[in-house]
Amino acid sequence: MKLYVLIPFLPLAAFIINILLGKEVLRNKAHWPSCLAIIGSFIISVITLFDVINGRVINEDLYTWIISGKFQVSIGFLVDQLTAVMLIVVTCVGSLIHIYSIGYMHGDKGYYRFFAYMSLFVFFMLMLVMANNFLLLYVGWEGVGLCSYFLIGFWYEKRAAADAGKKAFIVNRFGDFGFALGIFMIFLTFGTIHYAPVFSEVKNFVGHTVNFLGFEVDLITLIALLLFCGAVGKSAQIPLHVWLPDAMEGPTPVSALIHAATMVTAGVFMVARCNAIFSLSPDAMIVVAIVGAITSLLAATIACVQNDIKRIIAYSTLSHLGMMFIACGVGAYAAGVFHLYTHAFFKALLFLAAGSVIHAVVHNDIQRMGGLKKYMPITYAVMFIGALSAGGIPGLAGFFSKDEIIWSAFASHSEVGKFVWIMLTAVAFFTPFYSFRMIFLTFHGKFRGTHHEEHHLHESPNVMTIPLMILAAGAIAAGWAGIPSVLGGGAHFAHFLEPVVGHPEFHGTHAQEFGVMGLSTTIALIGLVIAFVFYIRKTDIPVMLARKFKFFYVVLFNKYFVDELYNLIIIKPTFWIARKFLVGFTDAKIIEGIVNGVPKAIGVFSNKLRRVHTGIVHHYGIFMAAGAFFIILYVLLWR
Amino acid sequence: MVPLSWYMLLSLAVFTIGVFGFLTRRNIILMFMSIELMLNAVNINLIAISHYMQDLRGQILALFIIAVAAAEAAIGLAIVIALFRNKATAHVDEVQELKG
Amino acid sequence: MILELFFAYFAFAIIVLSIVVITRRNPVHSVLWMLLLFFHIASVYLFLNAEFMAAVQLIVYAGGIMVLFLFVVLLVHIKEEIKISKFIGAWSAGFTFAAALFVVVALSLRSFVVAPPGKYTIELIQQETHTKALGKLLYTEFLFPFEIAALILTVAIVGALVLAKRRLKS
């Protein structure tokens, strides 16, 4: 019995049950199939993880999907160390978020729909991580994008939500276009799109060049960059990051599951999966690292001035995703995946805790919150843990993974290693600052909302707080799997992933490692203290700073005007062409000309032809005889 | 021994007469009889060829043609009755409602 | 020589009778001439060693179909029929195409090639009797088409009833 096959298909079954029966039969019990399915998947994932730890890597084709000439694709699963980690992340965090959603979505009229989409999402995500070829990966890739669209626009009556869904979908198209081209290039180069042959043969193509858009470019660099296009879209890196903050219009569990823990990390997963390709192209690696570093720093600075609690966490997610790409870009794939794994816990925790807060105050603006500590102590506690973990305070999950990335950047052979290390150190300052700014504004001080709102404040039900507490435990302890050797740990996580992603070569001494670690930790603590001073002790300082550096404040508050820039250079010209040219000329003249002209011509012709129909049987008989005569004559004379 | 082509020419002659009758008679009953003539011509042909080829399958085919002819005659004559009841005529050229 | 003479007689009679059948003004006469025509065709079948087919020709055509025609003809007014012209106005067009068809098919007969003979020699059929040989073939190799023919006849009967019966209530 191949048990692991059930992992993706249990959620698919739950989706089918929910979409068929949810509305009429299950109604407010619609969570049962979805929750049971994902918990079942989690249990099987744990069994699979132990199998993999014992060295049983599965790479199996279950069903031949497409055969077209040389092009052969099967539905097959690859379960190795990397996949096992992803399975645990998706199903473990997913299970907790599903349970949390029972409380959060309670009473919503789209209750069954929500759980149906969640299950469908989990199915596609699991297909994505378990695929053993690029096409199946692409199916999962597009499938999670589709579910993301459904769930961002879940409250579709709200215009902002519907628009945000469309925006996410359209922006992702840009990235996926490149990703599809990358898969085409892989097929053209290798003649197959299955992982194993591609990754083993790629080293034979070092130094080959190919003509792309008139330029001779290095083949492997081209493939790597095209694949990275997809990762940029899916993981919301600059310049395609604009959709993720808007995606916060969806329900908060969706933000936690899709836009923090799983889907957006698919890009990192894909880069780590294709490390054989990326490692052979130093240029592509530099691009990955630089894009990650820029995204990380810009998102961290934007997060410092936002007032929407979910958007702050969304920018924090962007920043952390950027760090994962930095890790991949400097060759420390294991560190990137390690951060992906710890990030899933503490970021899902932050989102769900924010959801708990929103559940109580019914809006997202942290300027109108404050003093929630005494109303919701559990939420406060877990969110504090999450912020500590995200901020990289020693001992918690986030610290170990972040520290490993910073050290990898410093110690790697990459040409841009030192540059991204400086950026990362800056990010290390901003992360605790904005995290604790959010915490202090939300939970400390006096409540700044209306009396009516204050009356409504309450702690969330157990079904929501228990998953929060479990996630908080994860946010503390998840990182202990990868304590670096310099701190006396075994770096088990990196060793576990070594068969898949290899071992990066670092040059640096233990003293340097301690120095880097100490520097980033000190900076993180400074950020925390500054947040404490700004938002608890001397609350007039931020206002004064904002007034004094008005230019910086406005730029940051408007997210560097990227949306406005895109509006000007892409959206406006597109609309202009559509209105002036497509509607006025192509549609009105050409298409309608054809659409109306063809029936008109047919009408004229058939009016002539109807004369033949006299209604007299003999005439038809004569036509028949004449037809027979001419056919026989033709056969007789020309055959 | 009579050559096969004689039978075929006979069959062809009867068939052509049937075609002529079908194309020119006004009475619908005579048109049906012309069709029966054509079918009989085909039967003559089939049975003659069957005989000369020493293969009985041609006669099986003729048998089926007779069966179909019977069915066709039954339906056709029912149509004649229905037509006569509705139009009080058996002349086909007076019925041209199907005009385009 | 005898065979050729007999064939010449029957062929001549068949062609003449066919012409007579389609040129009678009175449909009743046509039907009666056609009856005679069918007897001649049945005789031709006998020359071709197909006794069973000859019997079927007489029973089904002469006995069944022609009687049916006669009934229907008697339902239709014959008096008027005799007064008006029997052919349509453009009978020459019909004649032209029928004649043209005759010519081209006759020309194409030259290229007709007989396939190698099968196993049903005259001796075999005479030894086994024609009816038995035909029946064996019909109920084994052609059983399925035979059943379909039965279905077609059933449908025809039901269809004829539906078409010909009077409307119960208009």
pLDDT higher than threshold 70 for residue A18: yes
**Minimal Cα distance from A628: which residue of C?**
C101
Residue identified by tokens 């399975």 is A87
C12 lies in the same domain as C70: yes
CB neighbour list of residue C66: distance below 8 Å, 6 or more residues apart? C31, C34, C35, C38
Query: Which region, left, alpha or beta, applies to residue A215 given φ > 0 means left and ψ of -120 to 50 means alpha?
Result: beta
Question: Rounded distance, CA A262 to CA A143, Å?
Answer: 13
| Domains: count for chain C | 2
Q: Do C93 and A636 touch (CB under 8 A)?
A: no
Q: How far is CA C136 from CA B57, C21, C117, C131, in A?
A: 11, 37, 19, 9
| Domain annotation for chain B: domains and CATH numbers | 4-89 (1.10.287.3510)
C80 lies in the same domain as C123: no
C80 lies in the same domain as C126: no
Q: What is the pLDDT of residue A71?
A: 84
Q: What is the pLDDT of residue A209?
A: 85
Q: What is the pLDDT of residue A147?
A: 92
Q: What is the pLDDT of residue C143?
A: 93
Domain final position from C58, C84, C110: C84
Q: What share of chain C is helix, strand, coil (3-state, %, to 5)?
A: 80, 0, 20
Confidence label for C142 from pLDDT (cuts 50, 70 and 90): very high
Structure tokens at A296: 């990380």
- At A218, is the secondary structure helix, strand, or coil? strand
Q: Which residues of C touch A631 (CB under 8 A)?
A: none
Q: What is the pLDDT of residue C81?
A: 66
Q: How far is CA A306 from CA A77, A288, A367, A438, A493, in A?
A: 42, 27, 10, 9, 35
Is the distance from CB of A494 to CB of A334 less than 8 angstroms? yes
Average pLDDT, chain A: 88
A633 interfacial to chain C (CB closer than 8 Å): yes
Q: Do A610 and B100 touch (CB under 8 A)?
A: yes
- At A596, is the secondary structure helix, strand, or coil? helix
Structure tokens at A624: 């028949």
Is the distance from CB of A375 to CB of A449 less than 8 angstroms? no
Distance from CA of B79 to the nearest CA of A (A): 14
Residue identified by tokens 């929910």 is A18
A624 interfacial to chain C (CB closer than 8 Å): no
pLDDT higher than threshold 90 for residue A306: no
Percent of chain A with pLDDT over 90: 36
Kindly report the backbone phi and psi dihedral angles of residue A447, in degrees, each rounded to the nearest multiple of 5, phi listed first. -70, 130
Question: Quick one: CA dihedral C71, C77, C80, C84, positive or negative?
Answer: negative
C129 lies in the same domain as C77: no
CA A610 vs. chain centroid, Å, equals 63
Residues 560-619 of chain A with CB under 8 A from chain C are 618
C2 lies in the same domain as C79: yes
C132 lies in the same domain as C78: no
Q: Which residues of B touch A622 (CB under 8 A)?
A: 23
Tell whether C30 is covered by a domain: yes
Better-predicted residue by pLDDT, A153 or B90: A153
CB neighbour list of residue B43: distance below 8 Å, 6 or more residues apart? B62, B65, B66, C41, C53, C57
pLDDT 10s digits, A426-477: 999 999 999 999 998 888 888 888 888 788 888 888 888 999 999 999 888 8
Tell whether C92 is covered by a domain: no
Tell whether C31 is covered by a domain: yes
pLDDT 10s digits, A401-426: 888 888 888 888 778 888 888 999 99
Kindly report the backbone phi and psi dihedral angles of residue C25, in degrees, each rounded to the nearest multiple of 5, phi listed first. -75, -40
Residues 60-89 of chain C with CB under 8 A from chain B are 60-61, 64-65, 68-69, 72-73, 75-76, 81, 84-88
pLDDT 10s digits, A345-388: 999 999 999 999 988 888 888 888 888 888 888 999 999 999 99
Over residues A278-282, mean pLDDT: 89
Read off the pTM. Answer: 0.69
ipTM of the complex in this document: 0.89
Burial A255-272 (b: 16+ CB within 10 A, else e): bbbbbbbbbbbbbbbbbb
Per the DSSP assignment, residues forming a β-bridge with A133 are A194
What residues make up the domain containing C169? 118-170
Domain final position from C30, C61, C84: C84
Residue C48: CATH number of its domain: 1.20.120.1200
**Minimal Cα distance from A628: which residue of B?**
B19
Question: Rounded distance, CA B30 to CA A506, Å?
Answer: 105
Query: For residue A316, which of A168, A436, A211 has the smallest C-alpha distance?
Result: A436
C122 lies in the same domain as C80: no
Q: What is the pLDDT of residue C167?
A: 66
pLDDT 10s digits, A117-150: 999 999 999 999 999 999 999 999 999 999 999 9
C130 lies in the same domain as C79: no
Residue identified by tokens 């993880």 is A49
Tell whether C112 is covered by a domain: no
Q: What is the pLDDT of residue C78?
A: 65
pLDDT 10s digits, B39-94: 999 999 999 999 988 888 899 999 999 999 999 999 998 888 888 888 777 787 77
C76 lies in the same domain as C151: no
Query: For residue A316, which of A348, A274, A277, A268 has the smallest C-alpha distance?
Result: A348
pLDDT 10s digits, A59-102: 888 888 888 888 888 888 999 999 999 999 999 999 999 999 99
pLDDT 10s digits, A204-261: 888 888 887 778 888 899 999 999 999 999 998 988 888 988 888 889 999 999 888 8
Tell whether C17 is covered by a domain: yes
Q: Which segments of B1-67 are extended strands (E)? A: none
Tell whether C130 is covered by a domain: yes
Domain final position from C69, C84, C99: C84
Q: Which residues of C touch B55 (CB under 8 A)?
A: 117-120
CA A462 vs. chain centroid, Å, equals 29
Q: How far is CA A542 from CA A276, A532, B29, B74, in A?
A: 47, 12, 107, 102
**Minimal Cα distance from A626: which residue of C?**
C97
**Minimal Cα distance from A633: which residue of C?**
C104
Strands A209-212 and A71-79: unpaired
Structure tokens at A537: 């002790």
Tell whether C169 is covered by a domain: yes
C78 lies in the same domain as C155: no
| Inter-chain contacts counted by CB atoms under 8 A, chains A and C | 26
pLDDT higher than threshold 60 for residue A335: yes
Q: Do C88 and A625 touch (CB under 8 A)?
A: no
Which of A610, A611, A625 is nearest residue B23 as measured by Cβ atoms? A625
C11 lies in the same domain as C76: yes
C74 lies in the same domain as C132: no
Confidence label for C170 from pLDDT (cuts 50, 70 and 90): low
Q: Do B12 and C106 touch (CB under 8 A)?
A: yes
3-state SS of A44-59 is: HHHHHHHHHHCCCCEE
CB neighbour list of residue C125: distance below 8 Å, 6 or more residues apart? B56, C49, C133
Residue type, B69: A
Tell whether C108 is covered by a domain: no
pLDDT 10s digits, A556-601: 888 888 888 888 888 888 888 888 888 878 888 888 888 888 999 9
Q: What is the pLDDT of residue C168?
A: 59
